[in-house]
Every structure is written in C-alpha cells, then in structure tokens.
Amino acid sequence: MPLSVEEYQIAQMYMVMKMQQQNTSGREGVEVLENKSFEDDVFGKGQYTSKVYHLQSKVPTWLTTFAPADALIMKEEAWNAYPRCKTVIQCPYFTKFRLTIETVHKADNGLSENVHGLSKEQLAARQVEHIDIATLSTDYWSYMVGGGSGVDLSKFKSARTGRGPLLEGWQNKCNPVMTAYKLVTVDVPYWGFGYRLEQALLAGERALFLESNRNSFAWIDEWYGMTMQHIRELEQESDSLLNEVLMGPRWKGKGSEAKALADPMSKIVLQLQSSLIKSEAQGLLCGCSVLLGTEAQEADLLNRSCFGVPITTSEKSKQWFQLGMEEAFYLHYSLKCLMIVDENKHLMNDEQLWLYMKSKKETFPDFYKAYSHLRMKNWVVMSGVRYGVDFVAYRHHPALIHSEFAVLVLSPEEENGCWHGNSRLRTWSDIHCTTRLCGGVVKTLLVLNVSRNGDNAITPSCTEKFTVYEYTIARWLPERCREDHMVVKSKTSDSAVAEDGTDMQVPSKVLGTPPIEEG
C-alpha cells in the first residue's frame, strides 16, 4: 500500500465502514452486534467487533444444494489491536466450519518472510500469494465482491496527497509504503463438498482483500486528515444506520415495492370481501380448519390476500383452500363475507362457531384477537411455526417482501385458577433463545399480550373488551448505556428494560398500518 502504517489504520476503518454501507440494503448486508474496546494478555488493548453478514445472494448456486440460502449467514468476531488483528468467521448452519484471518501490518514493501512466526511445518504447508492493488481481476468472486470505487489505479492520482498513479514496480518506488500480511486458515471438515467450499472461500477472501485495499487507496481524498476520534464517531453512526437499514422492509428484488404500492393489501382484501359476499361463499368445517371451494376469480383473490393454503384435488372446476381457524373466523365474523357449515351441512351462527373453535383450541380467543388486531392494520398474517413462533407478519404478499415480525401471543391472566395462555417467555432462557433465533432470520420479535380484562370469552363479542399490548423485544447491545433508555408507556403499548438488559420497546409506528398503506 502507498501509505504509512498509521495512515492505513484510518484508511482501513473508513473503507470497512463505507463498503458495509454500500452492501447493506433492506434484504441483505451487515448487522453490527457489538463494537467495544477490549484488553487481554494476547493482544493487549484494542477494539472488539461482532457482526452478522446476511449475504445470501452472494452464495454460489451449487452450495444451496447442501443448505438453504437463508441458513448461510456468516458470523464474524474481530480483535483489532493494530498493527495486529485477528478475525474469526463461522457459520451457524455448518457448525464445524471456521475461517481465521491473522494480520500483521508492517512498513515495508512486502518482502518479509515470516512475520507471523510460523513453525517449520507451518511454513512448509503455507502457500504465499502476493496481491497487488494496482491489478484488476474479473473472476466470479471479484464480480460478487465488487461495487466499490471502480478506479483504475494505474491512472489515479490523489488530489490531496499527490500520490499515484501506481505504475509497474510502484512498490519499490513509493514512499511511504506498507504491507498487510494476512495469514488465512480455513477448516471445512465436510465430506463431499468440503474441499470445493474451501477453495471458494479462499478465492472469495482474495477478491475481498484486493477490492477492499484498492478502495482504501482510491478513497484517500475522502479519509486523509481524519483523526482516530473522528473515524470512531463516524463508525458508531454507521453501525446504527446499518442496523436500521437491515431491519427495515426487505423487498424481494427490484420492482417489488412499486408493485405493492400499486396494489395495496387493503384494496385486495376489500375485493375479496365483495367477491365472497356476492357468491354467498360457504366453508365446510373440518376438524381444526375450514375447507373452501372457489372459482378462479376468488381463488386469485385468496392467493393475493394470503388467506388459506391451496389444496390440490382432482376437481378441475374448483380450487380448494384450507383456512386456519383464525383466518376462517376473521372472514366469517369480522369481514362477514363467509358462511360456514358443519359436517352435516347445517349453517353455524357466530356463537356456535366460536364455541366450537374454542373447544378445539383453548387459546383461540387470544389468538383470534391477536390475528384480527394485525389484519385490521393491513398486515398479512401467516403461520410462524417454521420460526418457532405463533405468527409472522408481512407488509404485503410474501412473494414481494420478507416478513418483518415474528409474533408471539401471550395472556397475563388466569381463568378458573388455570393459566389459559401459552407458556412461552416464562423464563429468561426462552427469551434469549427466541431473540437469537429472530436475529438470525432478520425478524423483530413482537409480543402481543392479550388481556381479557376479566371476561370469560363465552361469545365472540367479548373480544371487543379485550386489550392488546404490543412489545418488541431485542437483544441488548453491551455498548449501549442503560441510562440512555427510558421506560415508555401508552394506552396501546408498554416498554421496559429488563433487569438483565434485554431491551423491550415499541417504536411509535411498530404496529401501525404499514407505511405502504399510507395515503
């Protein structure tokens, strides 16, 4: 690098911050969990960071045959005791996988032989590769990692320092000059694809080293003159921004948001309601679900509004759907567009259907109240069983956007001496496990605490007396100061900070009508 060792520290921090911002969107990117100072006997004093990389689209296609793309999330821990650094990258899905990068920065032109102090055996196994930032690469990984400066360093000259261009042999002519010596150790002990994955990772790291260090020099006029205090302040702002962007709406591909804006969910549900009323639709009660046969138009509206699951049958004239109890009762009671008959073809009224569903599921009153609470705010609500929760909530159709909230339905009350809610989040270990899972799949844990206010829920009209309290629960980050948090309470939501630091808050618009519905 045509930089001093001291300059490179600032350049590297600026480069990491900027590249993270470039590669983070509502769907993928970098989530910063921790960023704090540390001191130990190995490195001395330095900065510790913990990050999660959600970069599923950059995963090679062949690897998705061994694991779903959503599972290929990388977790990074880094100890930066400049000029020495160590980074460890792991993947929770492949528990035996481990990638370690140890870096030593020296003020030389790259000719030092053994800066890491390797043994004779390690030196014999080591493969040395020189990376020249003045070169360009056009392989697969360079394309996937790219998107940085795009500057030809053989023609680039810094306006503020006068350094450059980097012509052939620049390493022996530039002053100052320094080298980042990186020792990469990868362990992928999996039969069948371990070696292929190992080679892909090494190629990816090489492309990342080249692109990131090219950017460090190409952006010199942006960072030159910054102090360590200034760069740390920018880093903290960037970390907060990254997490806000990553936890925002994650649209599936270009044009998805525009499609949703053009066809809001509230409009689709109104069309479905009108169509079902006009056709005098009847659902057949079958165990813990309702079967509904529809014509093509109604089938399309049910699919677009995300009610029920299509069932494949031999009947060509109708498309059948299986509705969950909360879905069916919402269409029957709240939207008043679906009649339901029992197995004897007898039409069921509101009270009969309510008592039947309550007999099948003790927590049905609470779950129905929670389901209708979200649906009335135009959130799409679907089963959350694959994520270990009760529901997941989407801003629009799952084909256009990923779900934002993993929802648990709780009740704080007892009925006849018995707890009628589910038993989730009764211990801190369950809270920690659930928040970790939600973080891993990029969802916010939303708890809907349904209070019956002493009502015994004999009829469906009782739900009008129920109160829903909304909480979002997130893992507390150690770099946050506890004194910075306030306890916030309102008529519809509560917020608190638990004694162990788990942060439970409700943003002012967390359960309002999705922004896409506004206007």
pLDDT one digit per residue (tens) for the chain, 519 residues: 999 999 999 999 999 999 888 877 666 778 888 889 999 998 999 999 999 887 767 777 777 777 766 566 889 999 999 999 999 999 888 889 999 999 999 999 999 999 999 999 999 999 999 999 998 877 767 767 765 557 899 999 999 999 999 999 999 999 999 999 999 999 999 888 888 888 888 888 888 899 999 999 999 999 999 999 999 888 888 877 776 666 667 788 778 889 999 999 999 999 999 999 999 999 999 999 999 999 999 999 999 999 999 998 888 889 999 999 999 999 999 999 999 999 999 999 999 999 999 999 989 999 999 999 999 999 999 999 999 999 999 999 999 998 999 999 998 765 555 555 567 888 888 888 888 888 778 788 999 999 988 888 899 999 999 999 999 987 665 444 444 443 333 344 333 333 334 444 443 334 555 544 433
Catalytic residues: 394, 402, 443
- The span from the CA of 414 to the CA of 384, in Å, is 25
Distance CA 264, CA 378 (A): 9
User: Are 57 and 28 spatial neighbours (Cβ–Cβ below 8 Å)?
Assistant: yes
**Contact criterion met (CB below 8 Å) for 103 and 112:** no
Closest CA to 291 of 337, 268, 314, 325: 325
Quote the CA–CA distance of 230 and 232 in Å, as a whole number: 5
Residue pointed to by tokens 């090494």: 202
- Structural domains of the chain sorted by starting position, each given as residue range(s) with its CATH number in brackets: 5-247 (3.30.530.20), 261-361 (3.40.1170.20), 377-477 (3.40.1350.10)
246 CA to centre of own chain: 6
Q: What angle do CA 57, 61, 64 make, to 5 degrees?
A: 90
In sequence order, the 6+-apart residues with CB closer than 8 A to the CB of 376 are 334
CA dist 331 to 158, 368, 470, Å?
66, 11, 24
Give residue 130's region: left, alpha or beta (phi > 0; psi -120 to 50). beta
Q: Exposed (0-12), middle (13-18) or buried (19+): which is 341, by Cβ within 10 Å?
A: middle
How many CA atoms are closer than 13 Å to the CA of 144, on its beta-carbon side? 18
